[in-house]
Structure 1
Amino acid sequence: MTVFACVRCGAVLTAPVSQVALPVQARQIYGHDLLPALMEPGTYAVEPEPSGPPWRLWSEVGAEEAEARGVYAPVHSLSYGPPGAIVVAPGDVRGTVLILEHCDGYCMGLDGRDGPNLACVQCGQAVATRIDDCSLWQAVWLAPQAVRRLAGNGPARPVVSWEMLHAEPLETPPVEPSGAWSPVWAAAVGAALARLLAASAGTPVAVPDGPVAETFRRVLDTLLPPGRSAKNVVLAGPGLSAHGAGIALVPQHPQTGEVWPVSGRAHVVPLAAEVWMHLAFHHDRLPVPTSGGIPDGVWRDDPPPMLPSWPFRPDWRVFLYTLARLPEVRQPWLRRIYDQVKDRPYAPPF
Structure 2
Amino acid sequence: MAVFVCARCDAVLTGSVERVALPVCAHQKYGHDLLPALMESGTYAVDPEPAGPPWRPWSEVGAEEAEARGVFAPEFSLSFGAPGAVVVAPGDTRGTVLIPERCDGYCIGLDGRAGPNLACACCGSAVATRIDDCSYWQAVWLTPGAVRRVPDDGPEHAMTDWEALAEQHQGAPPIESCGAWNARWEAAVGAALAHLLSVSAGARVALPDGVMEETFGRALDALLPPGPTRRRVVLAGPGLPPADEDIALVPRHPRTGEVWRPPGGTAAVPLEADVWLHMAFPCAQLPVPVTGGMPEGVFRDDPLPPYPWRLFRPDREVFLSTLARLPAVREPWLRGIYDRMRDAPYACPF
Pick the TM interval, shorter chain.
over 0.9
Q: Structure 2 stretches of 5 or more lacking a match?
A: 286-294
Extract unaligned runs of 5+ from structure 1.
286-294
Residues 38-74 of structure 1, C-alpha deviation per residue, up to 9 Å, x if partnerless?
A: 0000000000111111111112211111111111111
Q: Deviations over 1:260-313 (max 9, x none)?
A: 12221111110001000111110626xxxxxxxxx9943435322221111111
Moved more, 1-10 or 340-349: 340-349
SS of the residue corresponding to residue 196 of structure 2 reads helix
Distance in 1, matches of 2:64 and 2:296, equals 67
Provide the rounded CA distance (Å) in 1 between the counterparts of 2:83 and 2:174. 32
Counterpart of 1:216?
A: 216
In 1, distance between residues paired with 2:86 and 2:186? 24
Q: Deviations over 1:64-97 (max 9, x none)?
A: 1111111111111111111110000000000001
Match of 1:149 in 2: 149
Partner of 2:268: helix, strand, or coil?
strand
Match of 1:303 in 2: 303
Check the 8 A contact 2:243/2:262 in 1, yes or no. Answer: no
Counterpart in 2 of 1:315? 315
The residue aligned with 2:46 is 46
1:30-69 superposed matches below 5 A? 30-69=30-69
What is the TM-score of this pair, normalised by structure 1? Answer: 0.94
Letter paired with 1:173: P
Work out the CA distance in 2 between the residues paired with 1:248 and 1:308: 26
Query: 1 CA distance for matches of 2:187 and 2:332?
Result: 25
| Higher alpha-carbon deviation: 297-306 or 212-221 | 297-306
Q: Does the 8 Å CA contact 1:235/1:242 hold for their aligned counterparts?
A: no
Q: Quick one: distance in 2 between partners of 1:348 and 1:296?
A: 48
- The secondary structure found in structure 1 opposite 2:71 is coil
Structure 1 partner of 2:107: 107
8 Å contact from structure 1 (residues 235, 249) kept in 2: yes
In structure 2, what is the Cα distance between the partners aligned to 1:296 and 1:50?
A: 63
Q: CA RMSD in A?
A: 1.5
The alpha carbon displacement at 1:349 in A equals 1.1
Equivalent residue letter for 1:339: D
Q: Name the structure 1 match of 2:269.
A: 269
Q: What is the CA–CA distance in structure 2 between the aligned matches of 1:156 and 1:346, rounded to whole Å?
A: 45
Within 1, Cα distance between the matches of 2:68 and 2:118? Answer: 32
Give the number of equivalent residue pairs: 341
Which residue of structure 2 aligns with residue 348 of structure 1? 348
Map of 2:228 onto structure 1 = 228
Output the amino acid matched with 1:251. P
The residue that corresponds to 2:135 in the other structure is: 135
Secondary structure class of the residue paired with 2:34:
coil
Question: For the residues of structure 2 that align with 1:60 and 1:109, how far apart are their CA atoms?
Answer: 33
Q: Retained in 2: the 8 A contact 1:246–1:266?
A: yes
Give the CA deviation at 1:186. 0.1
Question: Contact 2:45–2:86 (CA<8 Å) still a contact in 1?
Answer: yes
Asked whether the 8 Å contact 1:211–1:283 carries over to 2, the reply is no
Are the equivalent residues in 2 in contact too, given 1:234–1:242 (CA < 8 A)?
no
Q: Percent identity of the aligned residues?
A: 66
SS in 2 for 1:71: coil
TM-score relative to the length of structure 2: 0.94
Q: CA deviation at 1:158?
A: 1.6
TM-superposed CA distance for 1:241, in Å, is 3.7
